[in-house]
Every structure is written in C-alpha cells, then in structure tokens.
Amino acid sequence: MLRLLAVITLLAALPLSIASAEDASLAATKAKLAQRLPNVSLDGLRPSKNIRGWFELEQDSDLLYISPDAKHLFLGDLVDLETRANLTEAWRGKKATAQLDSVGEENMIVIGPKDAKRTITVFTDVDCPYCTKLHKEVPELVQNGVKVRYLMFPRTGLESQTYRRSVAVWCAADRAEAIGIAKSGGKLDMKTCPNPVEKHYRLGLAMGVQGTPTIFLDDGRRLGGYVPSDRLLAMLKLKPTLSKSDAR
C-alpha cells in the first residue's frame, strides 16, 4: 500500500517537474537572447508547437523559431512533410483573421448580406485603378453570397489627398455609395469627422500591406493585387449563380 502511494505521488509530481524544467529552459533562452537581440521584445517568447525543444516569437507578421541555446534563429516557412501543410502560413492566416476581426465591422465599410456565405476583407485605396476594377465586380460577389469589408489604405500616406478623400468617404451619409463615387473619380463632399482611416492604414502597415488591393479571405489567406471575381468565388468554393453582366 505504501509503495502504491509512493508511485501515485511520484506520478502526480511529474507534470510539475516537467513544467518547471520548461520554465527554466525558457528563462535561460530568454536571458541569452536578451544579450544577442537587445532591441527585441521577448515577452512573447514561448515553447514552439511545431519544433520540439525550440521556442517561437511573433514579430509583426513573422514567426521566428529559436533554438534552445539561442544560437540559431530561423525565419521562413515551416512545412510538415507528412501532410504537406505549411505550418507557418497557417499561423499567419489565424493571426490575420484575428487582427481583422478585432477592427469590428462598425469600423469598416461593409457591402453585402448579413447572412453572407463567405467574407473577404480588402485594404483599398480610393485612387487605385486596380481597386476600382475590383470594386466594379463587387456586385457579382455580393449576389453570390460574399460580404466585402473595406479598410482604407491610402498608399501615398496620411498627408495625401487620397487620405483626405478616404476620410470624406467615411464621413459621407452613404459610405458604400461614396466609395463608388471616389473610385470612379467623381466629386466628393470633402467632409471631415471622427474616422478610423489612420487606424486602417497603420494596421495595414503592421500586417505587411504594401500595395492595393490586398485581399484577405475569411480563412486568413492573403492575395496581393487585383483578383477577378470568378477566381475569388472559386477560391471561396462558391459556384457562381449569376454572370458578371447579370450582377450589374
């Protein structure tokens, strides 16, 4: 009986000892990294889920893999050769989805049904020709059950006329109509009001957006540049019920 109690006590203590060892290893690696990367915040350093014994650290839109002796740092895509899954890309997708959803649709220009089958989020510039081309195909996307969420990304910066036009779109009584007018080169009532345009822009920079349109699917996949609506529908696994001409 005493032997059984001793075994049970030993087994119960194992998780604590393992956790203590992991904590000690994490602390040791963090101390070495602090010397080698003095300007990098290490608060988010954690044991890697994908490489046993290694650690990982998020840096903006990158995931860094770090050896336990803090001598090696790997930046790139980690692929599971058994499943062929890109583990790093899956992480990027989850993070992007969380970042975009944290904005809240009340702080976006949303076009489409509330009960949408799928959703795309687009960083857009009101003076970008390819953004205009995509916007002309939004009716087809909407008719096929896609909700389009716009975030403003004035490529020429926060002191530009494009930024001011973006603010005017946000401050319009009908934002969906105003963004169409802006993209077609029409005249806007250049109002100002409290708006999220700068936050959109800074979020885009933090997510690595460099050009427009940049499209995020609702599974986190990222598409740079204009993508035709029929291809978008195929990527969203939606069968078109209307042609482009019918949607318009």
pLDDT digits (tens, 9 = 90+) for 71-115: 999 888 999 999 999 998 889 899 999 999 999 999 999 999 889
Same domain, 101 and 70: no
Domain count, the chain: 2
Q: How far apart are CA 208 and CA 214, in angstroms?
A: 10
pLDDT of residue 14 exceeding 80, the answer is no
Contact (CB, 8 A) for 79 and 86: yes
40, part of any domain:
yes
Q: Is 122 exposed, middle or buried (CB count within 10 Å of its CB: 0-12, 13-18, 19+)? A: buried
The domain that holds 49 is classified in CATH as 3.10.450.70
**Confidence (pTM):** 0.79
Same domain, 155 and 226: yes
* pLDDT (0 to 100) of residue 33: 86
Cα torsion angle, 228, 216, 81, 77, sign: positive
Same domain, 136 and 74: no
18, part of any domain:
no
1, part of any domain:
no
Same domain, 78 and 116: no
Cβ neighbours, 10 Å, residue 94: 12
Same domain, 166 and 208: yes
Q: How far apart are CA 59 and CA 57, in angstroms?
A: 6
Mean pLDDT across the chain, nearest whole number?
88
Phi, psi at 208, each rounded to 5°: 85, 15
Same domain, 146 and 231: yes
Same domain, 149 and 225: yes
Domain that holds residue 182: 97-239
- Percentage helix, strand, coil, to 5, in the chain? 45, 15, 40
pLDDT digits (tens, 9 = 90+) for 42-53: 888 999 988 899
Q: Which amino acid is at 245?
A: S
Same domain, 124 and 43: no
Angle between helices 175-183 and 161-171 (to 10 degrees): 150
Same domain, 81 and 103: no
End of a domain among 85, 108, 133? 85
15, part of any domain:
no
Mean pLDDT of 11-20: 52
The domain that holds 208 is classified in CATH as 3.40.30.10
Quick one: what percent of the chain has pLDDT higher than 70?
88
pLDDT of residue 19 exceeding 50, the answer is no
Helix (H) or strand (E) holding 149, with range, is strand 146-152
Contact (CB, 8 A) for 232 and 226: no
Mean pLDDT of 214-233: 95
Q: Which of 154-163, 178-187, 189-198, 238-247 has the lowest mean pLDDT?
A: 238-247
* pLDDT (0 to 100) of residue 39: 87
